[in-house]
Structure 1
């Protein structure tokens, strides 16, 4: 529909940006093993993998998701002598844990990193796909579009008459790459420490998430008073 002097059109864009606390944190765990023969490497890897799973499951409902990822077992060839000689076997398995209880997060990451030949990466803070924050951002973007259109109409001595179109430009989740004071950045690497005493729990500060929504709206309005 094209505008006319009797029913002019106004097209506006509405935007909203929210900063909210994260809902979940994802941690990646790499379990490794090395042995002189394949069976020894597999047995060590199986034992360490079971230890990681048992420890993580022990946190109950604080762990929202626990998944095993890529597994590999590969030979290490010797660089000395003639022919192909296997020096050792290396085994690896990747595990991903998603937590919704950030109080347990610091303790779990420390305890995992304290396990033998275990690497921990994370946490990655995020919102769930169904987060209420996304709906709130959309509502605020629509309200801003209506307010902006009314202001344009009022500047012409007119009023909004009807909504013709409302186009959703999508909702985006943005993440700051700057760590907060006293906290950590989104990525953190921990190497396993062979200490007799238990390592203290990490004090992790959740990183605020930015949610951005944008809409485009078209309205008809009453004839302006020029």
Structure 2
């Protein structure tokens, strides 16, 4: 049981920082009337993607989906062609050559590139900084309320985490096509989207007896 008056406050903090990760998807496709030809082309294009990624500075790549299926006429089950797709998700932390890498991949035959999507690392220190700032804000508010009453904060009674909410401002990058580079290839300039992180806490403090006039 708490003796004396108590002030309850909510502390909040907001941080807007540069992203730490960029992810994009690369999908290799193949289609032909012959199933073996479709599979061969799909394997060759997927291998070309892997070779290009092997030569690039990527932090992680994951094969997320492989699809091979027949295409039939609407009126029946007669197969008219075979379709195949292999999707790879790529994660990078060095953004300097990201646009060039995406263009090089998109320049391959029957390759689709989507993204990038920006984010923070799950263990980013930004989250810890936001939590600490939210606690500081709660304490400042409590002291301000106590001061308005002619009192002072004496002890912490309870502290509860209201949540830490990362809020990317946008899920996709805004990009512009620049002029041609020296070798004649187009240049893709990417603008990483800032990431916002919001933390909040609820706290209860005991205060000294107010001086009420």
Q: TM-score, normalised by structure 2?
A: 0.91
Shift of 1:110: 0.5
Q: Give yes or no for contact 1:26–1:124 (8 Å, CA) kept in 2.
A: yes
Q: Check whether the contact 1:14–1:145 (CA below 8 A) recurs between aligned residues.
A: yes
Query: What count of residue pairs does the alignment treat as equivalent?
Result: 206
Q: Secondary structure at the match of 1:204?
A: strand
Tell me which residue corresponds to 1:217. Answer: 203
CA distance in 2, matches of 1:57, 1:200: 22
Among 127, 133, 142, which residue is 1:149 paired with? 142
Give the corresponding residue for 2:179: none
Residue pair 1:171, 1:213 contacting (<8 A) in 2 also: yes
Structure-1 separation of matches of 2:122 and 2:205: 31
User: Partner of 1:26 in structure 2?
Assistant: 23
Separation of aligned partners in 2, 1:41 and 1:34: 5
The alpha-carbon distance between structure 1 residues 38 and 26, as it changes in their structure 2 partners (threshold 3 A), is same
Post-superposition Cα deviations, 1:11-54, rounded to whole Å, max 9, x if no partner, equal 10000111100001000111100122111111101111111111
C-alpha distance in 2 between matches for 1:124 and 1:172: 17
Q: 1:58 aligns with which of 55, 58, 64?
A: 55
8 Å CA contact retained: 2:119, 2:195: yes
Q: What is the aligned counterpart of 1:120 among 110, 113, 122?
A: 113
4+ runs deviating over 6 angstroms: none
SS at match of 1:168: strand
TM-score by length of 1: 0.86
Contact 1:24-1:100 at 8 Å conserved across structures: yes
Contact residue 23 and residue 115 of structure 2 kept, 8 A: yes
Q: Establish whether residue 132 from structure 1 lines up as the match of residue 125 from structure 2.
A: yes
Question: Aligned match of 1:184 in 164, 175, 193?
Answer: 175
Q: Distance in 2 between matches of 1:123 and 1:201?
A: 16
Equivalences for residues 67-82 of structure 1 within 5 A: 67-79=62-74
Supply the RMSD in Å over aligned alpha carbons: 2.0
**In structure 2, what is the equivalent of residue 201 of structure 1?**
187
Q: What is the CA-CA distance between 1:78 and the residue it aligns to? A: 3.3
1:103 pairs with 2:103: no
Q: CA deviation at 1:84?
A: 3.1
User: Deviation at 1:57?
Assistant: 2.1
Counterpart Cα distance in 2 of 1:178 and 1:111:
22
Between the aligned partners of 2:122 and 2:14, the Cα distance in structure 1 is: 17
Gaps in structure 2 of 5+ consecutive residues: 177-182
Whole-angstrom CA distance in 1 between matches of 2:16 and 2:116: 19
